[in-house]
Amino acid sequence: MPGFELFGESEKSQVQQVLDTGVLMRYGFDGMRNNQWKALELEKALASRMGTKHAQLVSSGTAALTVALVSAGVGAGDEVLVPTFTFVASFESILAIGAVPILVDVDDTLTLDPIAVEKAITPRTKVVMPVHMCGSMADLKALKNICTKYNLLLVEDACQAIGGSYDGKPLGSYGDLGCFSFDYVKTITCGEGGAIITDTDEYLKNADHYSDHGHDHVGKDRGAETHPFLGYNFRISELNAAVGCAQLQRLDEFLEIQKKHYTILRKSIEPLSGVTFRRVPIGGVENYSFLSFFLPRQEVAEQVNLALSNAGVDACFYWFDNNWHYYRKWDHLTNLTSLGKLPQEVIQQLPDYSKADFSKSDEWIGRTISCLIKLSWTEEQVHNRAQKMRTVLSKFL
Ligand SMILES: *Cc1c(COP(=O)(O)O)cnc(C)c1O
């Protein structure tokens, strides 16, 4: 997945152009900047690549989720449905605005189970937020139908699946709003950064203002701009955006490499009986950043995970025991351990997750292993790895 593996001349040259003018901020300083607007340039390129009307850059993927929710009018006490298998950023972005994260089971797509989503809807539900984990997507058509039926927003977290598609549309562009992360370990990186994409003018305007203290960005004098509503600072810097300008141009090259490596590994273990693969919804194309597969039982998955690591097959993950990606270890959320006082809405409405039954998620995640697909492997390394994976797996099947 990580674009940082292929950090090269085009990234350096983009950053150098920013350093040459010395204008590190995305707004203002028109006289000094030599007509160079890296953040704007990246927003245009991203919207064009994703086929959306708009893109708004922000400082991180977590900020993108927060700003996307705020831009669509989500606030205190609103319930947002998120999967049990995700990154902690999902509930952080929701809690940050006083809204309430409602965890929902995942199925064999390793993303939101549409049946569980419909069951979790209450009169307070505002948003369904699928997270396209490990390069593949949720059943977006089913989720969109639910959103239409109950008048809910569909906000896609495509942070781990940039470049994948569903029903011919780039992931992130199918819902009302889509979010990307460009942190250091994502498929393409800015160092730190994130983006929101949308076709809705109003959301774009809100995101633009909100992520810069409420500035309306009218005229040429920042100090004289007005503030139609309260905002915050989630700005990206020109330096980070410059790295992204180079990386976005290489996205399709990265996807091709990922697909090639993924296919070699998959073909090597596919014939083994007992290995099955995560379900990709019909009409979906992965971005191939991970190869995720199921083993017949939880104990087997645990043993295989250990054996892979002992055999030197690195970068494979057993999410069931992971501190950051699966609900079982989120005791800080379960216990609402926070530095300061939380909003009443959150305290009153957050379900008691210590008593929750997510056995349906456990059935899938307990048997899942995901192996990261690296860009920097040589062909020989990929084939070696494929051989090793097959040898290790066949010992347990
Ligand atoms: C990385 C990631 C985020 C958050 O991105 P940051 O840029 O690190 O804040 C959100 N959701 C998912 C699924 C991610 O993988």
- DSSP 8-state assignment for residue 370: E
pLDDT digits (tens, 9 = 90+) for 282-320: 999 999 999 999 999 999 999 999 999 999 999 999 999
Q: For residues 78 and 6, what is the distance between their CA atoms, to the nearest angstrom?
A: 41
The SS3 assignment for 101 reads: strand
pLDDT digits (tens, 9 = 90+) for 236-255: 999 999 999 999 999 999 99
Q: For residues 134 and 148, what is the distance between their CA atoms, to the nearest angstrom?
A: 27
Distance 35 CA to ligand 1 centre (A): 32
Alpha-carbon distances of 258 from 20, 78, 85, 98, 264, rounded to whole Å: 34, 38, 23, 38, 10
Please give the order of strands across the beta sheet that includes 165-166. 169-170, 165-166, 284-285
| pLDDT at site 2 | 80
pLDDT band at 120 (very low <50, low <70, confident <90, very high): very high
- Mean pLDDT across the stretch 324-353? 97
| pLDDT at site 122 | 98
| pLDDT at site 364 | 98
| pLDDT at site 180 | 98
Among candidates 164, 223, 393, 189, which has minimal Cα distance to 301? 393
CATH no. for 252-396: 3.90.1150.10
- Mean pLDDT across the stretch 382-388? 98
pLDDT band at 6 (very low <50, low <70, confident <90, very high): confident
pLDDT band at 191 (very low <50, low <70, confident <90, very high): very high
Distance 62 CA to ligand 1 centre (A): 6
| pLDDT at site 251 | 97
- Mean pLDDT across the stretch 187-193? 97
Distance 198 CA to ligand 1 centre (A): 18
| pLDDT at site 266 | 98
**Ligand 1 atom nearest to CA at 89:** 10
| pLDDT at site 222 | 95
Q: Is the CB of 87 under 6 A from ligand 1?
A: yes
Global model pTM greater than 0.95: yes
In DSSP notation, 189-234 reads: --BS-EEEEES-HHHHHHHHHHTBTT----SS-GGG---SS---B-
Q: Is the pLDDT of residue 3 over 80?
A: no
Q: For residues 41 and 298, what is the distance between their CA atoms, to the nearest angstrom?
A: 47
**Ligand 1 atom nearest to CA at 194:** 7
Distance 393 CA to ligand 1 centre (A): 30
Distance 147 CA to ligand 1 centre (A): 23
The domain segmentation of the chain, as residue ranges, is: 3-250, 252-396
Distance 230 CA to ligand 1 centre (A): 25
- Mean pLDDT across the stretch 26-31? 95
| pLDDT at site 371 | 98
Q: Is the CB of 289 under 6 A from ligand 1?
A: no
Q: Give the angle subtended at the CA of 112 by the CAs of 67 and 327, to the nearest 5°.
A: 80
Q: Is the CB of 129 under 6 A from ligand 1?
A: no
Distance 112 CA to ligand 1 centre (A): 17
The SS3 assignment for 291 reads: strand
Q: Is the CB of 156 under 6 A from ligand 1?
A: no
Q: Is the CB of 107 under 6 A from ligand 1?
A: no
The SS3 assignment for 161 reads: coil
Per the document, the length of the chain is: 397
Distance 86 CA to ligand 1 centre (A): 9
Which of 85, 131, 159 has most ligand 1 atoms within 8 Å of its beta carbon, as the pocket-test mutant? Answer: 159
Q: Is the CB of 89 under 6 A from ligand 1?
A: yes
> What are φ and ψ of residue 326, in 5° steps?
-135, 140
| pLDDT at site 273 | 95
Contact 56, 182 (CB under 8 A): no
| pLDDT at site 7 | 87
Who's near 282: CB < 8 A, 6+ residues apart? Answer: none
Contact 75, 99 (CB under 8 A): yes
Distance 280 CA to ligand 1 centre (A): 21
Residue whose token pair is 């605005």: 97
**Ligand 1 atom nearest to CA at 185:** 1
pLDDT band at 30 (very low <50, low <70, confident <90, very high): very high
pLDDT band at 4 (very low <50, low <70, confident <90, very high): confident
For 3-250, give the CATH class. Answer: alpha beta
Q: Is the CB of 362 under 6 A from ligand 1?
A: no
Nearest CA residue ID for atom 5, ligand 1: 61
pLDDT band at 214 (very low <50, low <70, confident <90, very high): very high
Q: For residues 387 and 265, what is the distance between their CA atoms, to the nearest angstrom?
A: 8
Contact 201, 53 (CB under 8 A): yes
| pLDDT at site 328 | 97
Q: What SS3 string covers 308-355?
A: HHHCCCCCEECHHHCCCCEHHHCHHHHCCCCCCCCCHHHHHHCCCCCC
Please give the order of strands across the beta sheet that includes 368-372. 276-277, 290-294, 368-372, 316-317
Which of 60, 87, 180, 326 has most ligand 1 atoms within 8 Å of its beta carbon, as the pocket-test mutant? Answer: 87
Distance 133 CA to ligand 1 centre (A): 10
